[in-house]
Amino acid sequence: MGDDEKPAGGYDSTPLPKSTKPTYTVKITFHSARNLPVADFGSGSADPFVLAQIKTSHSTRHSHDPNLRWRSKTIRKSLEPVWENSWIVAGVPSDGLELTARIYDEDPSDHDDRLGKVEINTGGIDERWKGIVKQEYKVKKTGADLRAYGARWACHLVGRKKLHARLTLSIEVLGKTDNELGKAYTVNNFWWVHYSPLIGRLAGVKGKDDKGVERYNFQANEIQLTGPVSDELYHRYVEFKTFVGGMFESTGLRGKVLNKALHHQHERIYNFDRQTKYGEFEYDPEGPPKDLALKFLEMCHFDQGGRIFTYVVTLDGLLRFTETGKEFGIDLLSKHTMHSDVNIYIAWSGEFLIRRLAHRDEEPEDPNQRTHPADDIPGGPPNEDPPRDAASYELIIDNDSGTYRPDKKLIPIFTKFLEKNFVGLKVRVMACDDEKLSKIKDGQRKIKKKEGDHLVYGQQSSSDLSLNRDGAAGGSISSSDEEDLEDRARAAGEEEGETEGATGHLEKGFNVVENPKDTMNGLVDKAKGKTKEKSGKEEREKAEDNDRV
């Protein structure tokens, strides 16, 4: 395939404009709130959390680049929550930042209720700036859910309740940022572990709980790495199918439907509820904490069970991952799209696995070194508890992502970023076309079969897009394998009694609504025997023309 015929996307070399002003590291602390409205009328309370966003005067490379965002922990059943959560951001320019802090009521069964927002513009900052110290701000009701404030208005009118909620926060400058990168970025570390019994049941995944009882469950993980993510790590989605551009940019009926469905899918996988676990590390200006690598290994269950994980690293260094090998039984259009929450740009994506080393003081490539997988070595799973020492493990991580296609020429830069964050852990970044990687993954899958008592996989349905190459029900679509996607789509069309290459009923429905004129012309041409297949390039150009209109 020539360069002109390659699908658009992948590595984007657009340079990031450097900062022309001094930059600073800023700590934002959300202390507490009071007088929040009742969001859960059954308990007469709320489950509040803060979702914050920062804007600065830094130029962006693309209008779709996401703003910096951060979420506090949730305080259960409280109208007077105390969070004491901090967000530390480096690279803030001397003209300051704009902070928007929205308070929500967490509601996993429905949508999170909006309880109001606070907006702050710090103005100019420097090392002598006095900062904001436990300042109380009125929470604006703009955009808040009417249901939450309906009862509050009634109580206010009879003089029993003050109308406005209050949010107390602090903002301080910790010092000058050494790296003049032209962007702000998160430097403190925190993590989330999300559980979903429902997704576990749909996916056919069982795991043992703390008491050793086997239950349906599904685990999704988020861990904030210390920035900055190198400016070179900048990848756009790949438009390998005509509908992909509309899906990411939410254009056209088809694109909007798919975009909304994928956002919903992300929210289901990374769901916040009472089972969600949260933790944060004490900030060290010298660099990432040594325990960060150990926490990462715990989230991966060390080397137990031969797991393979699919992951995305966002532009702000948030690592999201779940266990989703090619054989994993859950129907996702694109696993990396789900992890990124349909973000147009990310830093890196692919798959990874963990291997335990027989000799912690020797490199993985040493001829005397043995690993689990693929060898049986003493001192850990499956018969003993895993060693709690990052130096006893190797992270093998790749760029196996058809959605974003990270450029393997940038592997040394990505390796340096991971080594900085996971102190002590041996890191090896490999290209997805490396034959050695294929052998390593094969060994991992063999261990999974051998140590299958740790996790149970299964397919609960055989829907249109859950067919493997042999036509049997089996794992999800591999986001790194375009041919697999084509095969499954073709198989789905054949199941409906259509000929190879034909358009499915759903696709036809979209075409009728979006392009009625073309649909009618196609029917006329078909009646006259003039119908012909369009090339992939023609379809892509046609879709781009429709989006522009």
476 has a pLDDT exceeding 90:
no
Mean of pLDDT values over 108-120: 87
Distance CA 387, CA 134 (A): 43
Sketch the domain layout of the chain as residue ranges.
Answer: 7-187, 188-460+486-496
The band of 417, judged by pLDDT with boundaries at 50, 70 and 90, is very high
Q: To 10 degrees, what angle do helices 505-514 and 516-527 make?
A: 120
Q: Are strands 393-398 and 426-430 parallel, antiparallel or unpaired?
A: parallel
Top-confidence residue, 56 or 454? 56
510 has a pLDDT exceeding 50:
no
534 has a pLDDT exceeding 50:
no
Supply the pLDDT for residue 106. 93
Neighbours of 375 (CB within 10 A): 13
From 39-53, 84-98, 338-352, 531-545, the region with the lowest mean pLDDT: 531-545
Q: Taking a C-beta distance cutoff of 8 angstroms, is the pair 417, 423 a contact?
A: no
401 has a pLDDT exceeding 50:
yes
**254-273: per-residue pLDDT in tens?**
888 888 888 888 888 899 99
Supply the pLDDT for residue 93. 95
487 has a pLDDT exceeding 50:
no
The band of 204, judged by pLDDT with boundaries at 50, 70 and 90, is low
Helices vs strands, H then E, count in the chain: 12, 24
276 has a pLDDT exceeding 90:
yes
Top-confidence residue, 456 or 36? 36
Distance CA 149, CA 141 (A): 8
- The Cα diameter of the chain in Å comes to 80
Instruction: Please report the beta strands in 209-359, taking only residues with DSSP state E, as ranges in sequence order.
Output: 214-216, 219-224, 235-236, 277-280, 309-313, 318-323, 345-346, 348-357
Mean of pLDDT values over 89-97: 95
Distance CA 313, CA 320 (A): 7
The band of 310, judged by pLDDT with boundaries at 50, 70 and 90, is very high
Residue 454, Cβ density class (10 Å: 0-12 exposed, 13-18 middle, ≥19 buried) = middle
318 has a pLDDT exceeding 50:
yes
Mean of pLDDT values over 113-127: 94
The band of 233, judged by pLDDT with boundaries at 50, 70 and 90, is very high
* DSSP at 230: P
166 has a pLDDT exceeding 90:
yes
**Residue among 363, 358, 312 nearest 334 (CA):** 312
Distance CA 184, CA 89 (A): 6
Mean of pLDDT values over 513-537: 51
Task: Report percent pLDDT > 70 for the chain.
Answer: 73
Cβ neighbors of 423 (< 8 A, separation 6 or more) are 287, 288, 290, 292, 293, 390
Supply the pLDDT for residue 281. 96
φ and ψ at 200, to 5 degrees?
-60, -40
Instruction: Please report the beta strands in 139-218, taking only residues with DSSP state E, as ranges in sequence order.
Output: 166-176, 185-186, 190-195, 206-208, 214-216
Task: Report percent pLDDT > 90 for the chain.
Answer: 47
**186-198: per-residue pLDDT in tens?**
999 999 999 988 7
For 7-187, CATH number? 2.60.40.150
Q: To 10 degrees, what angle do helices 505-514 and 252-269 make?
A: 130
- Average pLDDT over the chain reads 79
Supply the pLDDT for residue 380. 87
Q: Taking a C-beta distance cutoff of 8 angstroms, is the pair 306, 328 a contact?
A: no
Does an H or E element contain 33, and which?
Answer: strand 23-34
Distance CA 314, CA 134 (A): 31
Tell me the whole-structure pTM to 2 decimals: 0.82
Top-confidence residue, 147 or 452? 147
